[in-house]
Structure 1
Amino acid sequence: MTHGTTAGTTTVYQVTGMTCGHCESAVGSELSALDGVTSVKAEASAGRVTVVSEGPLDDEAVRAAVDEAGYELVGRA
């Protein structure tokens, strides 16, 4: 149960292989499909993906989603 408004959990991941806006949207759409994810901001130039979720995410689920998009999750940034 949540009380009032919560900012959620923000996690930044290091992802390799992203080179352009298409890469960012591919990673973003896969991660957005995970349960509890409220926003995703992928930055190809930095190789980072910032994920905001209702609670902590399972790193393996994040890894699988990034892999599904065709990129590699290095780990948390």
Structure 2
Amino acid sequence: MSSRTFTVSGMTCGHCATSVTEELTELPGVTDVQVSVDSGRVSVTSEQELSREAATAAITEAGYTITDWPSAN
């Protein structure tokens, strides 16, 4: 299992969090998504390392932007 936490801008409500969660859970191997609208932090657990490209595509599809992608731990 792999975990990745990053920041998404533009989320303001529960609907935003749901949209982000739905798009990310469609990615292969993703098993859990936790979204904090207040902080903009999104944590994803997956069976393999989540690529920035895949996450960016999913977040863009939901209508938002990744603003911080910290190095993997």
State TM-score, norm by structure 2: 0.91
SS in 2 for 1:73: strand
SS in 1 for 2:54: helix
Task: Note the alpha carbon deviations across 1:8-27, whole angstroms, 9 max, x for none.
Answer: 11100110000111100000
What amino acid does structure 1 have at the position aligned with 2:52? Answer: D
After superposition, the CA RMSD in angstroms is 0.9
**Would you identify which runs of 4 or more consecutive aligned residues in structure 1 move more than 4 Å?**
none
Larger radius of gyration: 1
> Matched residues, percent identical?
44
Match of 1:19 in 2: 12
Unaligned runs of 5+ in 1: 1-7
Q: Are 1:45 and 2:35 matched, yes or no?
A: no
> What is the distance in 1 between the residues matched to 2:68 and 2:54?
12
